[in-house]
Structure 1
Amino acid sequence: MKLGDTANISADSEFTAAALGYTDKGITGVPELLSAGQKWSVVMVKVCNKGGEPIATTPLVWSLAYADGVRVEAAGMNAGELPQPLYPMEAKVSSGDCVKGNIAFTVPESGRPERVLYSPDALDEPVEWQIGK
């Protein structure tokens, strides 16, 4: 899929997930948390519950994949000067409700990831969105 597309997921429950956008330019974040050669990036995502029971969401099931096989996990933080709104660290989403926000990643200063991956436990393989050049 491409950024902006919505995946319909039927696993333990019915829900949708979308990677809406990626940026790695002009993000201040928390500079002291970066290692040498790293910068901040964010992915705007949205998850909606289409089933009858509440679902749990977390940014920790999202990652970035590079052409050489490197994968970068979500930074797991909601602090500093990261672009708002931030995706909640943990949220229960009722039937018919959605959660949307930016997920932070620390990525290499050079290069760009190819794909955004969504890998909750309910899925056997990740849902993927291609990141344009």
Structure 2
Amino acid sequence: MRSRTALTVTALSATALLLTACTSAGEPKTIRVTVTQTVPATQEAAASPNTRALKMGTKKTLDDSTNDTHFTAQVTEYQQPPKGPQPEAPTDLGGDIWATVNVKVCNLRGATFTVGQTAWSLEYDDGTSVESTGLSGGDMPKPEYPMDRAVKPGRCAAGLISYPVDSKKRPARVTYAPESGESAEWAVPST
């Protein structure tokens, strides 16, 4: 994404302005005046605070040396609302529609570890976040990301995690923050 910066130039030049005055001894005295210019960012530039967020689809290699786990995490898609049949509206859970995140975690080497939905959340630019409800089964979108499944070295776990969201807002990023080890973020496209 390209960002543009809007510049506004007033009657004064952005370069330093030199004024000459006379001292009481009659010798000229030079006064230097520096003009400071406020440069407002365009809306496009202001809307991208996700400088450390990865592009959707990017695999991130993560290590948790304390637990001898070495794995990749990936977010392949965000849908709001998800395609296909819609579960009952999540009005009792703080949203008016469902959104889904398609994620994948692969154990590269080391110890077997357990994956679940609680490490994944949606983050908004206003500082709010939406955690996974942990709901599964029934009419939730399929295939679902597992809720406590062991992943052996060389194996992966993948699927959809559902979130109750406000249909008028869109998250800025999907965050993966396990209890220990590194975390990662993926930018959610604006549409």
TM-score (norm 2): 0.64
1:34 is aligned to 2:87 = no
Mark the structure with the bigger radius of gyration: 2
Would you say the 8 A contact 2:111–2:153 is kept in 1? Answer: yes
Residue among 28, 48, 72 paired with 1:16: 72
Distance across 2 between alignment mates of 1:72 and 1:37 = 10
Q: Secondary structure at the match of 2:146?
A: coil
Distance across 1 between alignment mates of 2:189 and 2:119 = 21
1:92 is aligned to 2:92 = no
Unmatched 5+ residue regions in structure 1? none
Unmatched 5+ residue regions in structure 2? 1-53
Q: 1:26 to 1:3 in 2, by over 3 A?
A: closer
Which one-letter code corresponds to 1:5 in the other structure?
A: T
Deviations 1:38-96 (A, max 9, x none): 21000000000011321110001100000100010011111232221001111000110
1:7 equivalent in structure 2: 60
Report the alpha carbon displacement of residue 34 of structure 1 after superposing the two structures with TM. Answer: 2.4
62-71 or 35-44, which moves further after superposition?
35-44
Q: Identity of aligned pairs, percent?
A: 34
2:188 equivalent in structure 1: 131
Higher relative contact order (CA 8 A, sep 6+): 1
Distance across 1 between alignment mates of 2:153 and 2:146 = 18
Work out the number of aligned pairs and report it: 131
Report the alpha carbon displacement of residue 37 of structure 1 after superposing the two structures with TM. Answer: 5.3
Would you say the 8 A contact 1:30–1:79 is kept in 2? Answer: no
Would you say the 8 A contact 1:29–1:79 is kept in 2? Answer: no
Moved segments of 4+, more than 6 Å = none
Q: CA RMSD in A?
A: 1.6
2:37 equivalent in structure 1: none
Which one-letter code corresponds to 1:47 in the other structure?
A: V
Q: Secondary structure at the match of 1:50?
A: strand
Q: 1:62 to 1:26 in 2, by over 3 A?
A: closer
* Aligned pairs for 1:40-119 within 5 A: 40-119=98-177
